[in-house]
Amino acid sequence: MTTVSHAGAGTRALALVFLAAVIEGFDLQAAGVAAPKLAPAFGLQPDQMGLFFSSATFGLMFGALGGGLIADRWGRRAGLALALVAFGVFSVLTVWAGTFEQLLILRFLTGVGLGGALPNLVAIAAESSAPARRGRAVAIMYAGVPLGGAIASAVAMMGLHGDWQSIFLIGGVLPILLVVPLLLLLAPFKVARDAAMPTNRRQVLFAPGTMVGTVLLWSAFFCGLVVVYLLLNWLPQLLVSLGFAREQASLVQVVFNVGGAVGSVIGGRLLDSERPALAAVGCFVGLTVAIALLSAVPAGNVVAALAAGTFVGATLLGAQALLYGLAPQCYPAEVRGTGVGLAVAVGRIGSIVGPLFAGALLASGMGPQHLLYAILPIAAVCGLATVALILRRSYRAAVPA
């Protein structure tokens, strides 16, 4: 196993990947923040904006696959540094895009870098902590993603960026600045290869002992990110449909992310608790209640909307933190980056399906309340797969090899 023996080095590693996750979360929502000023600047139609948003998501899929392979072959530090440089450089270059086609290409390449960072962030966070604390370590790292998203949403709400270019410039410079401290302060994570381990990663990932875990993990990631990205993309518009002003809907989006950051940390602690399966059941039951409450918020009641948005964010992203904490524990260190990268890539398919699913249901005449109820079965599948993964982990730990 790959661990950092010195407690100070582990804390330093966790702090660095948390900062990287905050920057990642900021960049993930940079396009949405820039959209109100970018669209008129280029004369983009709604379908073109949809392509612009989707281009980064497709890049995330390819980046997650490549980032996981790099993590296992050349080390977690090298993989993360390369990913930070990639999405930093292409985000900065977006500032000088002159055509819609250039915007699409640069956003896709930015997405490749963003996708490549996440498997490395998860692996470093897991390997920087003792086994009994890995769930919370990964969750603390993951909490940086919604926190970065909340910062980006706050920037949009307060109008702190004067033009569409500045948000991409900020999102590009920050990861590049982090690379030097990362290389100087983060110890290299070299994986000691087990001679008995098959050299073919596919043999390890889909071996009889790991196949069930892989399928469960992919199912949970896919369904979880269907719900996450459906709400990230459609929550403000759903609230406007329920009678809220756009500024109020943006504020709910901010507290959704802040609640998600807090819920992520709590989710990690639950994963490391004595009864993680029971805690996971409670988390998903809470998510069901939170979505039901959000659908029942009275029109114009901002306090109720803020409370429901915070509750949904905390339970939904807390559930995602459980998954990210579980993912590195499903595979041996030799293929951990690849295994996590594949799971993240499958999840990104869900992040594409979610917004499309919502759009199709709304186009068919379904109201916002019924749309929220329609995602409950998807969340339930995610919950069942997550609980099954936790129970499987506990069983394998209890049974001697």
On the question of pLDDT at 400 being above 70, the answer is: no
Q: What is the DSSP letter of 273?
A: S
Mean residue pLDDT of the chain comes to: 85
368, amino acid identity:
P
**The pTM is what?**
0.82
Cβ atoms 164, 38 nearer than 8 A? yes
More confident residue, 332 or 257: 257
Instruction: Kindly indicate the confidence band of residue 269, based on its pLDDT and cuts at 50, 70 and 90.
Output: confident
Q: What pLDDT, in 10s, does the model give residues 314-365? A: 999 999 988 888 888 888 877 788 888 889 899 989 988 888 888 888 888 8
Contact 355, 233 (CB under 8 A): yes
More confident residue, 388 or 339: 388
Report the C-alpha gap between 375 and 369 in whole angstroms.
11
Looking at residue 267, its pLDDT comes to 86
Rg for the chain, CA atoms, rounded: 20
Res. 197: pLDDT tops 70 = no
Model confidence at 49: pLDDT above 60 = yes
Better-scored residue on pLDDT, 334 or 123: 123
Per-residue pLDDT at 177: 96
Question: Cβ neighbours of residue 79 under 8 Å, at least 6 residues apart?
Answer: 67, 70, 71, 116, 119, 120, 337
* Residue 175 in tokens: 């990861």
Q: Residues 6 or more apart from 239 whose CB is under 8 A from it?
A: 248, 249, 252, 305
- DSSP string over 144-182: HHHHHHHHHHHHHHHT--SSHHHHHHHHHHHHHHHHHHH
The architecture that CATH gives domain 7-188+201-398 is Up-down Bundle (1.20)
The whole-angstrom separation of Cα 399 and Cα 326 is 18
Q: What is the pLDDT of residues 61-94, one digit of tens each?
A: 899 888 888 888 888 899 999 999 999 999 999 9
